[in-house]
Structure 1
Amino acid sequence: MSAITAPAPAGTPRPGEGSERKPGASRGKRVALALGGLWFAGIVFFIGVFGFKAHKAPAVASGVFTPTNEFKLDTWFSVGPVNFNKGVLYVILAAAITLGLMFYVAHRLKERPGRLQAAIEMFYGLTSGMARENLDENLSRKYFPLIATLFVFILVSNLIGYIPLPVDSLDKFTLFGAHLPSFQIYAADTNVAFPLILALMVFVLFSWERLKAHHGPVGFLKSLMPAGITGPIKPLIFVIEVLSYFLRLISLTVRLWANLLAGHMLIAFMGGELGVLVGDPWVQWLLFPFGIAIYLFEAVLIAGLQAFIFSVLTAIYLGDAVTSH
């Protein structure tokens, strides 16, 4: 007789299936555990070899090396009144890349967009939304190119600030007999002059629009005063409003400058500089993962966020210039 077996219920594993599957950590977890073990082993190694006693380098002990050295602008050469240094180099790089991106995109627009054009259209929607939501139709058409260009220019400037380039002229290395500057991350925004010039340009533009919209200096000053304020407090409110108007210049400058400066200093400190200052190799190894985390946080989030904030505040201030309180 032949045995007739009933079909197994759906979802029931057949004989032999699943026998090769063994419980265990995923590949990502294994990599994380391996890196964590390597990090911990490195700490133990450096403490075992060097101990807890500080081993400061002569340059640190003598005060020659300081954390502010990486932000110094040493002149490489001069052309007339212009002194070329790494700050000027980064501004030129940012301007060249911004122009290159604009021309590249403008000459490759297609009816059926690819991934790059889809990303550009998303960016266009974001920046045009800034202009439409804060400016009237005429000013939106007039200043949309400026708002979009500021966004791209500041974003590019911020992003190239996280690419190591041979710009550290204080420390050099020898390659085939040539003395070359050491690699370093540096952003033009960490020099306060760069965001100050951008902020000053925006300040002049929205001040000019306010002057035109309110028919001269008298109307300009009257427009700063909130409606409905009367009595002895009126002069005090007027002074506060005037001061707050000029504080826009400072806030635009300091917000961009301080965020990028603080980020680069944190990356340097957590990436090994603090260990160099205290003279303990194990401190460098201990903080190294935190330096990587801060680097990724700054490059992925802060670079774009600061470009967005500067651009949207430009649109807000230009829109506010033609309205009354």
Structure 2
Amino acid sequence: MNLYNPFEQFEIILISKLKLFGFDISLTNLTVVVLSTAFIIFTLNYILDKGYNYIPHNWQIVMEAMYQFVFSIVSEQAGRKGIKYLPHLATIFFIILFYNLSGLAPFSFTASSHLVITFGLALSYFIAWVIIGIKELGPKFVYVFCPKNMPLWLLPLLICVEFLSFFLRPISLGLRLFANMLAGHILLHILAGGCVYLLTKLFILAIPAFAIIGAIGILELGIGFLQAYIFVILLAIYLKDSLYSH
């Protein structure tokens, strides 16, 4: 494995080969990150639930602020009907946030830099929203492909555009998160490799390079949060189409 290969950080490494009833359930670094994230989120919620106080401590303030942040997204974008889906959207927000930020730790792995994860999440929610739309609106759900108050001669074209746009949602949603996390981590890896090279050649040049890496690292923290926000706000917008007739 090449130390300076920017793609080596995304390699899925087999830790333990396992099979159950003919199904491959092998343990990899990807499954470790996914299971660890689920365990951390469940543990934090359990601790918060058991330690809930009317006078909140610092950790409770942080968690309540983040939950309120997701609540404001859902209530603004999906309306009152969307509030009952808040637990789902809050959970996916924290999952993606942990996926994004965990990759910034040394020798870690970024689950959200793999398309199978991001597209899998996007497709799962897309199917769920379609089912909810059919259940809530019935035949009126087809109005999502047919905007109102449009000239009749323009309707066939608009229906085709809306139909294509609707079914491209999970692809664009998954690709957006995947591409942003992949690009950011590749950039960090290249800059870090450049710093290591400068250290061996001319130490004084490595100092500003380390400062740049620090700044990019802080930027990646912000991007990790921003991408979780964008993913959830788009899910809330798509949910609105399944709850309200156009």
- Common topology (TM > 0.5): yes
Q: Structure 2 residue aligned with 1:228, among 135, 139, 149?
A: 149
- 1:120 and 2:63 correspond: yes
Deviation of the 1:83 alpha carbon: 2.8
Please, what TM-score do these two structures have when normalized by structure 2? 0.87
Are 2:45 and 1:96 aligned? Answer: no
Is the CA contact 1:272–1:287 (under 8 Å) kept in the aligned structure 2?
Answer: no
Match for 2:120: what amino acid?
I
Note closer, same or farther for the CA distance 1:227–1:147 as it changes in structure 2 (3 Å cut).
same
Match of 1:244, SS state, is helix
User: Matches of residues 49-198 of structure 1 in structure 2 within 5 Å?
Assistant: 66-80=5-19, 81-141=24-84, 143-164=85-106, 184-198=107-121
- The amino acid across from 1:203 in the alignment is F
* Other-structure match for 2:238: 317
Identify if the C-alpha distance between structure 1 residues 320 and 294 changes in structure 2 by more than 3 Å, giving closer, same or farther: same
CA distance, structure 2, for counterparts of residue 305 and residue 128 of structure 1: 16
Distance (Å, rounded) in 1 between the aligned partners of 2:232 and 2:99: 14
Question: For the structure 1 residues 136 and 297, does the alpha-carbon distance in structure 2 shift closer, same or farther, using more than 3 Å as the test?
Answer: closer
Deviation at 1:227, TM superposition (A): 0.7
Distance 1:238 1:202, change over 3 A: same
Structure 1 residues 206-254: Cα deviation after superposition (integer angstroms, max 9, x where no partner): 11122223314xx433332111223333211111101111121112111
Contact kept? 2:136, 2:243, Cα under 8 Å: yes
1:307 to 228, 236, 239: 228
Q: Distance in 2 between matches of 1:187 and 1:234?
A: 44
* 1:249 alignment partner in structure 2: 170
Structure 1 129/157 Cα, relative in aligned 2: closer, same or farther at 3 Å?
same
% same residue = 29
SS at match of 2:160: helix
From 294, 300, 324, the counterpart of 2:216: 294
State the TM-score, normalizing by the size of structure 1: 0.67
- Number of residue-to-residue matches in the alignment: 240
Deviation at 1:114, TM superposition (A): 1.6
* 1:104, distance to aligned residue in structure 2 (A): 1.0
The amino acid across from 2:45 in the alignment is: M
- 1:239 counterpart residue number: 160
In structure 1, list runs of 5 or more residues that go unmatched: 1-58, 165-183
SS of the residue corresponding to residue 76 of structure 1 reads: strand
Distance 2:136 2:227 in 1: 29
Structure with the bigger RCO (C-alpha within 8 Å, sep 6+) is 2
CA displacement 1:60-85 (0-9 Å, x = unmatched): 7xxx9633222121322222212322
Q: Which structure has the larger Rg over C-alpha atoms?
A: 1
Does the CA contact (< 8 Å) of 2:13 and 2:28 recur in 1?
yes
Task: Say whether the 8 Å CA contact 1:151–1:308 is kept in structure 2.
Answer: yes
Structure 1 residues 273 and 243, CA, compared in 2 at 3 Å: closer, same or farther?
A: farther
Q: Please report the RMSD computed on the Cα atoms of aligned residues, expressed in angstroms.
A: 2.5
Q: Secondary structure at the match of 2:17?
A: strand
> Quick check: 1:67–1:273 contact (8 Å CA) kept in 2?
no
What's the CA shift for 1:294? 0.7
Relative to structure 1, the CA distance from residue 115 to residue 243 in structure 2 (aligned partners, 3 Å threshold; closer, same or farther) is same
Distance 1:74 1:115, change over 3 A: closer
